[in-house]
Amino acid sequence: MKYRKIESDDDVNTLVKIAHEIWNHHFKSMFDSKTLCKLIEAAQSKKTILSKIEQDYQYFFIIDGGEKIGYFAYKINPSSDELFLSKIYIYSNKRGQGVGREVLGHLETLCHDAGIRKIVLTVYHGNIDSIKAYENWGFTNLGLIERIFDDDLVFMDVKMEKVFN
């Protein structure tokens, strides 16, 4: 597994395409099509991604055998001694093969090297399979929080964390 930082305009365009494909497939059973389109635009549009990069979020492609199979994004917050895992999305045909666990292992190594003590993330409360996967990977469920994208896009997410000794 390799990870390649998303830096160029072409990279961002490719990321938007991949994000739309993954999100349309993964979330189609959780949201109606109108809500899903709004959510994708709010969270995965080129404008949003570029804004996040300006805010020091790091985006990476997940590459396996030369093929882009997903992506992840994070931001290190030294003041709170944490890495916020903003995104980790993998094409459905690559899930269940240890890709997510490998990405988290990479991030844990990054945290260790940077002296960061924990990884924090949020996940949509209806995304039960992902919540279970994070729990299996040692994350603690801290409960529900409200996530506001705009006036008509408000969701409940589960906040989770993994603390290192």
Out of 3.60.15.10, 3.40.50.2000, 3.40.630.30, 3.40.50.10490, select the CATH number for domain 2-163.
Answer: 3.40.630.30
Indicate the helix (H) or strand (E) that contains 14.
helix 9-26
Per-residue pLDDT of the chain (165 residues; tens, 9 = 90+): 999 999 999 999 999 999 999 988 888 888 888 888 888 888 889 999 999 999 999 999 999 999 999 999 999 998 888 999 999 999 999 988 999 999 999 999 999 999 999 999 999 999 999 999 999 999 999 999 998 877 677 889 999 999 987
Rounded distance, CA 20 to CA 46, Å?
11
The torsion angles phi and psi of 56, rounded to 5 degrees, stand at 75, 20
- Amino acid of residue 38: K
Cα–Cα dist 45/20, whole Å: 9
- 32: Cα within 13 Å, side-chain hemisphere: 3
